[in-house]
Amino acid sequence: MSKSITSNKSQSAPARIAIQGFEGCFHQVAARQYFGSDVEVIPCATFKDVIKAAINKKESEGAVMAIENSIAGSILPNYTLLQKSNLVITGEVYLPIKQHLLVNPGVKLEDIKEVHSHPIAILQCMQYLEKFSWKLIETEDTALSAKHIHQHKSKHIAGIAGKLAADLFDLEIAAPNIHTMKNNYTRFLVLQREAVPVENANKASVNFNTDHSRGSLAKVLTKIADQGINLSKLQSFPIPGTNFKYSFHADMEFESVEDFNIAMKSIKPLTEEIKIYGVYRNGNQNQEEK
């Protein structure tokens, strides 16, 4: 049975949390931000593996999974994984993505001949990298690149990764914050097998299908707005096996859970199916409080 979590600040960390990526990756940073620095993570190669580990109570007590990025947008396959998993959203983390140029101790910029990292990280830092004639090598993962540089004691190879990777693998930051877009956040969902009490919950994620009659979606959205609820995200998904029918993922923000419950009752007659993924605390507010 999953441990009860009332707050990401007051509760001790669960034993094990599944993440996508390798030790030192941004998923691990997000897990630490939510559960504390002593959280034990289970690195998984794919998001599908993350969900499998989160479902299995013998493997983990839950997962932290990226769901969208402020620049790249929604990670649509992860919404599908969430829908099929029956896991519950118990929290979220908004993490600033800060990329640094990492080297072994003593290595200078003039010593670098190659830079290794994930292709997306390289693209995020291209404006900086174009200042040099370094060879850019695409790799599987930012943190894994940092680990390999440390293991091989490379004197002419740098990596692009986050500060946690630098700390874990004893690397120096040769150049900090080399990413071009400075306001770059990734939103991570905290997933567990069962709903848990959440103090001051003010956000919920819901999936619903309308009856697809004319104006049905507008009627649902009006009912939600009438209850004073802010719809922070609305994402449509085609329903497999139907002719251009859609389900909708909605993230809702509210002042009281009661307002949310009333809204759910009011839209029920207008929908064919409603699934509440979870009621939790807005991660943006958690970030602001730190």
Together in a domain, 233 and 114:
no
pLDDT in tens, 201-248: 999 999 999 877 788 999 999 999 999 999 999 999 988 888 878 899
Question: How much is the pLDDT for 240?
Answer: 84
pTM of the model: 0.89
In a domain, 11, yes or no: no
- Asked whether residue 188 falls in the same domain as residue 60, the answer is yes
User: Range of 163's domain?
Assistant: 100-175
Same domain, 163 and 208: no
Has residue 27 been placed in a domain?
Answer: yes
Q: How confident is the model at residue 285 (pLDDT cuts 50, 70, 90)?
A: low
The mean per-residue pLDDT over the stretch 266-289 comes to 85
- Same domain? 146 vs 249: no
Is residue 92 located within the same domain as residue 105? no
The CA-atom distances, in angstroms, between 252 and each of 1, 91, 144, 174 are 28, 13, 36, 42
CATH number (domain holding residue 225):
3.30.70.260
Same domain, 188 and 77: yes
pLDDT per position as a tens digit, 127-147 = 999 999 999 999 999 999 999
Q: Say if residue 82 is in the same domain as residue 109.
A: no
**3 part of a folded domain:** no
CATH number for 43: 3.40.190.10
Mean pLDDT, rounded, for 78-87: 95
pLDDT at 257 (0 to 100): 96
For residue range 95-123, list pLDDT tens digits in order.
999 999 999 999 999 999 999 999 999 99
Which pLDDT score, from 0 to 100, does residue 289 have? 39
Query: For the chain, what is the HEC assignment?
Result: CCCCCCCCCCCCCCCEEEEECCCCCHHHHHHHHHHCCCCEEEEECCHHHHHHHHHCCCCCCCEEEEEEECCCEECHHHHHHHHHHCCEEEEEEEEECCCEEEECCCCCHHHCCEEEECHHHHHHCHHHHCCCCCEEEECCCHHHHHHHHHHCCCCCEEEEECHHHHHHCCCEEEECCCCCCCCCEEEEEEEECCCCCCCCCCEEEEEEEECCCCCHHHHHHHHHHHCCCEEEEEEEEECCCCCCCEEEEEEEECCCHHHHHHHHHHHHHHEEEEEEEEEECCHHHHHHHC
Whether 5 is covered by a domain: the verdict is: no
Residue 179, pLDDT > 50, answer yes
Domains contained in the chain, number: 3
**Is residue 20 located within the same domain as residue 92?**
yes
Query: 118 and 68 in one domain?
Result: no
The first and second tokens of residue 113, run together, are 């001949």
Clarify whether residues 75 and 188 are in a common domain: yes
**Same domain flag for 52 and 188:** yes
Within this chain, do residues 59 and 188 fall inside the same structural domain, yes or no?
yes
Residue 12's pLDDT is what? Answer: 52
Closest CA to 105 of 171, 15, 198: 171
The answer, yes or no, to whether residue 9 has pLDDT greater than 60, is no
- Rounded to an integer, the average pLDDT of 15-29 is 95
Q: Alpha-carbon dihedral of residues 155, 157, 158, 164, nearest 10 degrees?
A: -70
